[in-house]
Amino acid sequence: MKKVTVACMIVFAAYSSPALAASEDDCDRSWSAYDINRDGVLRGAEAQRFTDDMRAKGVIPGSTRSGEIHARAYKNACIKDFWSKLEEEER
């Protein structure tokens, strides 16, 4: 009986824990794929492509007032796997 209980606890823990966030290297690689002109900001078609890709994966990213996504905000959201809270770039 103890073995069954322990096995159930392990399965529950595996399914209830959040997904592991991406590594910094993974985030840098994915950023590079979106930031085509290498200006450090996703805007226009770049931002639209990112948003479309995320929605296709079932993730609805947050939006910024300007519609732009800056590299630091992207990386923070990627590492934390918290796309709904993309933040405005502080200037």
Q: Which domains does the chain have, with CATH numbers?
A: 21-85 (1.10.238)
Q: What is residue 12's predicted lDDT score, i.e. its pLDDT?
A: 35
Percent of residues, the chain, with pLDDT higher than 90 = 38
Q: Give the H or E element holding residue 42.
A: strand 41-42
Q: What is the DSSP letter of 75?
A: H
CA 23-84-39 angle, 5° bins: 65
pTM of the shown model: 0.66
For residue 22, the Cα-to-chain-centroid distance in whole angstroms is 8
| Longest Cα–Cα distance in the chain | 60
